[in-house]
Amino acid sequence: MTVAAAVPVAAAAYLPVSASADTFHTVNGPAQSQAQKGGNSGSSLSCTSFKVSAPDGAVVESVSTAQVAAGPYLVPGPAPLGGYTVPDVPAHCEVTVGLTHPGGGDHAKVQVWLPDAGWNGRFLAVGGAAYQAGDLGAVATQVKAGYAVATTDAGVSNGLDVSWALKADGSLNQTLLENFSSRSVHEMSVVAKQVIATGYRHAASYSYFNGCSTGGRQGYMEAQQYPTDFDGINADAPGINWDQFEVATLWPQVVMNEAKTYPTACEFDAFNAAAIKSCDKLDGLVDGLISDPGKCDFDPRRLVGTTVVCDGKQVTITAADAAVVRKIWDGPRDTNGKRLWYGLPVGATFNYLAASQPDGNGGTVGSPFFVPSVWVSTFVKQDPAFNTANLTYAQYDRIFQQARAKFDAEIGTRDADLSAFRNAGGKLITWHGDSDQLIPTAGTIDYRQRVEARMGGSKKVDDFYRVFLAPGTAHCGLVGGSTVDDLSALTAWVEQGKAPAVLHATLTTADQKNVQRDLCRYPMVSHYTGGDPAKAGSFRCVSPSQWSKS
């Protein structure tokens, strides 16, 4: 199915007006009762007439506007990416632009929301998640912060539906794959800038992109392929190295299937708890946060023979359990033992990638996580019925190589040459949780290191691109509620030249306490220096070599 247009909470607040297809469109919308002044922009918003020229290679199918009253906004689509309400969204003008590509049969929508009052003069684009190219919930949230905000659905479905990937004959829909991979975010930026300039009668002062996960990958794609679209890019927990990491995150299922050993969530938790207990103190403080999981050398075999209580019963950890955990942490290797990609970070929950379920016959079978599972079945194998729960090592090796050969150029998003983005004056910030359970943190570090090798070393790269790691933090901070103040850091860097030495964050410890921390700029790590452990000032950022000596 196709992502729906914005679903109004009160239909009476929407007054849509459409236009016919052409290479460009002008649309006349509802008149406003009075001019509303934008904040720092000093501009009044006109929601009455928009002319949109098509991006290169595209055709504008339609343009419509809606003047929307202030109130709550129900985000369309199924949970977890939709079905929730953003409260107190201010009055705004919504402009929806339909795009297609001749011969492609696609119908992508760009939505641009313009706040009636308090516009901060900036354009902010937001990315998607999983197989969803955009995020209307993030649009509604950022309009509240005063941005003119845009997103795109790329002509594909919501994040839990990949039925768009294959045509009726079973072949890949290359048009929609290109939209999702790279083209639609660029076209969204082209369209949104026109809409903003028309609505406020002058262009935005600065243009930004903000995304996590799939949105993080989209941000990197912009820096790599369309380096002049944005002045600043926040690209967090990025799904770069897409064709590699997606297959890599099926590795836990392969390990369990080959070993015929499926530890329970309780048993997996015991290994994580033991690892955290063993390595927590390395940063000078026992607080449930490991500041550098790469330094944690906990061997899961140390738990063999110990007992844990699961569902009120004592369970003994076996050598087979420990071997499974060890291989999952180590990461995927080919049949010759060569590393293919990185494993689950130590401390990250096993619940997503190493899930299992009863097989109905008294046994247990793997339960692969949706995103990598459908990547392999629908995209790589082009067979939605393909079962990823019982892959052998040999099958996995072949699939990994097949995915890399077939999709790296299309969606890999791992080009380490960011010189055009640097030369355009762009700034790129990434933060990534050290306990990311869905995208291996080491893949982001691998990319940063490749950029350094290509572009003159760490100091030169730091001039425009910085990475920050968040101790004990899950994917995009979604588990535990960790927050990172990255967007204000990005705007200060772009607009005032203040390069961030740290990112201010609120992190959640293993015992569910919220603490203030400054995320250190890679490769530095956080070390406790004394004082209140809940305060950021009690820590300082040091190099790994300094840490090892302290």
Identify the active-site residue in 213, 356, 373, 538: 213
3-state secondary structure of 412: coil
101 is catalytic: no
Strand order in the sheet with 122-126: 59-68, 92-100, 108-115, 148-152, 122-126, 206-212, 232-236, 427-433, 465-470
Q: How far separated are the first and last CA of the chain, in Å rounded?
A: 56
Identify the active-site residue in 161, 397, 436, 518: 436
Strand order in the sheet with 483-484: 483-484, 502-508, 514-520
DSSP 418: -
- Number of Cβ atoms within 10 Å of the Cβ of 273: 15
Task: Give the residue carrying structure tokens 């993080």.
Answer: 216
- Which of 338, 180, 344, 128 is CA-nearest to residue 256? 344
Helix, strand, coil proportions of the chain in percent (round to 5)? 35, 25, 45
25 is catalytic: no
> Residue ranges of the alpha helices (H) in 456-543?
458-462, 487-496
Q: Apex CA 74: angle with CA 71 and CA 80, to 5°?
A: 145
Identify the active-site residue in 25, 432, 475, 527: 475
436 is catalytic: yes
Burial label, 382 (beta-carbon count in 10 A; 0-12, 13-18, 19+): middle
Supply the residues annotated as catalytic: 213, 436, 475
